[in-house]
Structure 1
Amino acid sequence: MRPDTPAPAPAPLAPLSAATLDDAYAANRANAAEASRLAAAHHDRGRAATDRQLSSSSRRLLHFDGRGSGRVTEVLGDLARADRIAVLVPGSDTGLDTYGRFHAAASALHRQLARQAPGTRTAVVAWLGYETPGTVSTTVTTTGRAEQAAPHLRALVAELRAISGEGARVSLLCHSYGSVVCGRSAAGLDVDDIALVGSPGTGADTAAALRTRARVWAGRGGDDWVENVPHLDLDLFGTTVGFGTDPVSPAFGARVFTAGDGGHSDYFRPGSTSLTNLARIVLGETKAVTHD
């Protein structure tokens, strides 16, 4: 997308609750439709197509902002009635222009949850709620973007609690740089499980240092290049570079689960060991999770 492609600002909405959920979905779809029209008029066909797809009556958009790289929070399932809620937190190079692959991961998890627990009410929330760093950039080696994102992720969790009530189990599934975001958000957060996949680190030296009541899980595929990322944590002129202890190492203290032999982008691949175990974590079937 060209950076000057126009899009409307989100309209002010009532505070989110089960009663206002459908109105929020409709308003955000309308915003996406207008963003598509503006992008098309600006000859940005790719962005226009993505926005048009998101404006479909079948989509449930909790938030949408088509400006810049874009923000969208999409729900798969009946959020107001869900007993188990999974929030996917993406890593680098994720924006509206690459949203299709992120949506595919959320859809694969939603289908897997239905397959493994057909009688359980589940919802998956694809949260593209921050400006992700580029894979080839200096920002991907620092905690800056994660620190900017953390208040927004905390706000989302508060919204989910307002919509679904305190009885729902909420899990964060944090991929790659998204695990740094989760690490920066974790302290005191009202979630039940935090699963780190393909993680370069969280910015903390141990799971205990995250200061969360949630169970902390970590998994890494056998062919994931992130295994070769140096696990450093340096302060250079006031900027933290690196993300500390490897989350799958015994020193970190997470519950390490089997993630199969896949690569960095394979954790939500249908039929994979990692997807099966992530669904078990979301469902609270902790004894069924397989371990390395």
Structure 2
Amino acid sequence: MASRPWSSRARRALLTALVTMSVALPVSGAARPAAVPAPAPAALAPLGTADPSALDSRYAAGREEIRAARDMAARHGDRRRAAALTGMSGSGRTFLMFDGRDGGRSVEVFGDLSRARRIAVLVPGAGVDLDHYGRLRRGAEALLGELGSGSAVVAWLGYRTPATLGPSSLTAGRADGAAPRLRAFVRELAVAVPAARVSLLCHSYGSVVCARAASGLDVADIVLYGSPGTGAGSAAGLHTRATVRAGLGGEDWIARIPHTTLPLPFVTVGFGTDPTAPEFGAEVFDAGDAGHSGYLRPGSVSLRSIAGIVAGRAGGRHA
């Protein structure tokens, strides 16, 4: 279903929502993606197997890349970034890839990927970079704890996310650049762990990334939560064989953002239909009273719902 043209009321609502965001999300202004130098990482061959020895070798290479970036940050005088990278380079951390440049790219595994029967790939939204990575990590750990044995969670920070406040978070430019990388990673994962059930969990602007990557991906579920829209008018418009599911928490400010589009010269602002709206046609799950950053909060209704989807034991209702 095509989105309605913007009315003057919708324009005013968008301005109101942006003011709300500026109050609710002050940390977004702290992002400084280009401020800290980092070395170019070594080229990696595709992960052809999830054999434990192959994974151990890949994880060791990831730690070396993180330590190299840590050392460069320390020489640059950025103690904050150096301290964060020191934590990320610990022996218990397992990164399939790491690139510290331009805000950072990384793929971290939580759980035993070699034995995983179900895998959740977390695709974060705006404002997540190396300086704000803890939010993504905490969510991955909470989800793994809810899923239990036989599961793995992958935190895929495979693109430069847009700032929460700024024009890049209102257009699909960053998502268009991220989508081919997400497709490549999911295909690599399918080769390495062919028997695992894979679900994409797409938060906020990450739902735009997943929508751009959806066509042709061999995944069981595409789960959209805290979504500003996908750029598609319906789940069918994603052209995927996966089950498309959507949830919106009762305390999520993104519900106040106009779910429509505004065509401008050379760019379209906004992402159209709310994925939880009846006309979108997704399977809607119970997200409880989640706030925008609280969908994977331990003990929450939304976390239980999302874990049930990943485990293949939850349906949801058709909107």
Alignment TM class, shorter chain as reference: over 0.9
2:181, 2:249 → 1: CA distance?
Answer: 29
**CA offsets 1:47-98 (integer angstroms, 9 cap, x no match):** 1111111111111101100112001110001112211000001010000010
Trace 1:183-194 onto structure 2 (pairs within 5 A). 183-194=211-222
Which of residues 242, 249, 259 is equivalent to 1:231? 259
Taking structure 1 as reference, are residues 208 and 2 closer, same or farther at Cα in structure 2, changes over 3 Å only?
closer
Which of residues 273, 280, 287 is equivalent to 1:252? 280
Are 1:280 and 2:308 matched, yes or no?
yes
Deviation at 1:291, TM superposition (A): 8.3
Are 1:141 and 2:141 matched, yes or no?
no
Which contiguous aligned blocks of 4+ residues in structure 1 show a shift greater than 3 angstroms? 289-292
Are 1:44 and 2:78 matched, yes or no?
yes
Deviation at 1:24, TM superposition (A): 1.3
Asked if the contact 1:200/1:243 (under 8 Å) is kept, the reply is yes
Normalised by the length of structure 1, the TM-score is 0.94
Trace 1:252-271 onto structure 2 (pairs within 5 A). 252-271=280-299
Question: What are the ranges of 5 or more consecutive residues in structure 2 without an aligned counterpart?
Answer: 1-31
Aligned length: 285
Which of residues 70, 74, 95 is equivalent to 2:129? 95
State the AA in 2 paired with 1:147: D
Asked if the contact 1:258/1:291 (under 8 Å) is kept, the reply is no
Q: Which residue of structure 1 aligns with residue 37 of structure 2?
A: 6
Secondary structure of the corresponding residue to residue 278 of structure 2: coil
1:147, 1:234 → 2: CA distance?
Answer: 18
Trace 1:87-166 onto structure 2 (pairs within 5 A). 87-114=121-148, 118=149, 121-165=150-194
Secondary structure of the corresponding residue to residue 42 of structure 2: coil
2:35, 2:209 → 1: CA distance?
Answer: 27
State the AA in 2 paired with 1:9: A
Q: State percent identity of aligned pairs.
A: 58
Whose RCO is larger (CA < 8 A, sep 6+)?
A: 2
| Cα RMSD for the two superposed structures | 1.5
**CA offsets 1:194-227 (integer angstroms, 9 cap, x no match):** 1101001011000001000000100001011110
State the AA in 2 paired with 1:84: R
With 274-283 and 43-52 compared, the bigger mean Cα shift is at 43-52
Deviation at 1:7, TM superposition (A): 1.3
Are 1:169 and 2:203 matched, yes or no?
no
Secondary structure of the corresponding residue to residue 264 of structure 1: coil
**CA offsets 1:1-38 (integer angstroms, 9 cap, x no match):** 57342211111223212243221111110110111111
Deviation at 1:135, TM superposition (A): 1.1
Deviation at 1:234, TM superposition (A): 3.1
**CA offsets 1:120-144 (integer angstroms, 9 cap, x no match):** x110000111011111101111011
1:246, 1:15 → 2: CA distance?
Answer: 36
Normalised by the length of structure 2, the TM-score is 0.86
Q: Which residue of structure 2 aligns with residue 81 of structure 1?
A: 115
State the AA in 2 paired with 1:276: R
**CA offsets 1:91-129 (integer angstroms, 9 cap, x no match):** 100000100111001111011101xxx4xx110000111
Asked if the contact 2:211/2:230 (under 8 Å) is kept, the reply is yes
Q: Which residue of structure 2 aligns with residue 56 of structure 1?
A: 90
Question: What are the ranges of 5 or more consecutive residues in structure 1 without an aligned counterpart?
Answer: none
State the AA in 2 paired with 1:266: G
Which of residues 209, 218, 231 is equivalent to 2:237? 209
State the AA in 2 paired with 1:92: A
2:280, 2:64 → 1: CA distance?
Answer: 45
Trace 1:61-76 onto structure 2 (pairs within 5 A). 61-76=95-110
Are 1:241 and 2:259 matched, yes or no?
no
